[in-house]
Amino acid sequence: MVTTHNLGFPRIGAKRELKFGLESYWKGQSSLSELKSLGAQLRQRHWINQANLDWVPVGDFAFYDQMLDMSFTLGNLPGRVRGFHGDSLDNYFRVARGRSAHGVDHAGCCGGGVAAGEMTKWFDTNYHYIVPEFSAGTEFQLDSSRLLEQLAEAKAQGVKAKPVIVGPVTYLALGKAKDESDRLALLPRLLPVYAQLLAELGAQGVEWVQVDEPLLVTELDADWQHAFNAAYHQLKSCGVKLLVATYFGPLQENMYLAANLPVAGLHVDAVNGREDVVPLLNMLPTHKVLSLGVINGRNIWKTDLNRLLDWLEPLRDRLGDRLWIAPSCSLLHVPVDLGSEKKLDAELKSWLAFALQKLHELEVLATALNMGRDWARDALAANQAAVDSRRVSPRVHDPAVQAAVAGLTLDLGRRHSVYEQRAATQAALLKLPAYPTTTIGSFPQTAEIRHARSEFRAGRLDQAGYKLAMQREIARSVKEQEALGLDVLVHGEAERNDMVEYFGEQLDGYAFSEFGWVQSYGSRCVKPPILFGDISRPKAMTVEWIRYAQSLTAKPMKGMLTGPVTILNWSFVRDDQPRSRSCFQLALAIREEVLDLERAGVRVIQIDEAALREGLPLRKSQWKTYLDWAVESFRITANGVRDETQIHTHMCYSEFNDIIESIAGMDADVITIETSRSDMELLDAFDHFKYPNEIGPGVYDIHSPNIPTQAHIEQLMRKAAERIPASRLWVNPDCGLKTRAWEEVIPALTNMVAAARALRAA
pLDDT of 234-254, one tens digit each? 999 999 999 999 999 999 999
| C-alpha–C-alpha distance, residues 75 and 68, integer Å | 11
Contact criterion met (CB below 8 Å) for 281 and 251: no
Catalytic residues: 703
Q: What residue type is assigned to position 188 of the chain? A: P
| C-alpha–C-alpha distance, residues 535 and 528, integer Å | 16
Q: What is the pLDDT of residue 557?
A: 98
The CA-atom distances, in angstroms, between 58 and each of 71, 144, 151, 165, 730 are: 17, 13, 6, 9, 46
| C-alpha–C-alpha distance, residues 684 and 595, integer Å | 35
| Nearest CA-CA partner of 265 in 287, 238, 234 | 287
What spatial distance separates the first Cα and last Cα of the chain, rounded to whole Å? 74
Residues of the chain with pLDDT under 70: 101-112, 653-655, 676-682
- Alpha helices (runs of H) in 123-219, residue ranges in sequence order: 145-156, 168-173, 187-203
Q: What is the pLDDT of residue 265?
A: 98
Return the half-sphere exposure (C-beta side, CA atoms, 13 A cut-off) of residue 472. 10
Which amino acids are annotated as binding site, given as ranges? 16-19, 121, 126, 440-442, 493, 524-525, 570, 608, 614, 650, 652, 674, 735
| C-alpha–C-alpha distance, residues 557 and 321, integer Å | 64
| Nearest CA-CA partner of 229 in 187, 271, 267 | 187
Contact criterion met (CB below 8 Å) for 212 and 328: no
| C-alpha–C-alpha distance, residues 526 and 610, integer Å | 14
Burial (Cβ within 10 Å: 0-12, 13-18, ≥19) of residue 83? exposed
DSSP 489: B
Query: What is the Cα 583 distance to its own chain's centre?
Result: 18
Which amino acids are annotated as binding site for Zn(2+), given as ranges? 650, 652, 674, 735
Contact criterion met (CB below 8 Å) for 631 and 668: no
Contact criterion met (CB below 8 Å) for 439 and 735: no
State pTM to two decimals: 0.88
| C-alpha–C-alpha distance, residues 411 and 408, integer Å | 9
The CA-atom distances, in angstroms, between 357 and each of 301, 362, 517, 613, 758 are: 10, 9, 15, 30, 57
Which residues on adjacent β-strands are paired with residue 289?
A: 265
| C-alpha–C-alpha distance, residues 693 and 671, integer Å | 8
Sheet holding 558-562, edge to edge: 558-562, 604-608, 646-651, 670-673, 694-697
The CA-atom distances, in angstroms, between 180 and each of 175, 184, 186, 725 are: 11, 12, 13, 26
Q: Is 698 helix (H, G, I), strand (E, B) or coil?
A: strand
Contact criterion met (CB below 8 Å) for 291 and 325: yes
| C-alpha–C-alpha distance, residues 27 and 17, integer Å | 16
Which amino acids are annotated as binding site for L-methionine, given as ranges? 440-442, 493, 608
Contact criterion met (CB below 8 Å) for 99 and 706: yes
Count of beta carbons in the 10 Å neighbourhood of residue 73: 22
| C-alpha–C-alpha distance, residues 422 and 647, integer Å | 10
| C-alpha–C-alpha distance, residues 242 and 207, integer Å | 9
DSSP 505: T
| C-alpha–C-alpha distance, residues 511 and 585, integer Å | 16
Angle at 747 between CA 744 and CA 752, to 5 degrees: 115
Return the half-sphere exposure (C-beta side, CA atoms, 13 A cut-off) of residue 239. 13
DSSP 132: P
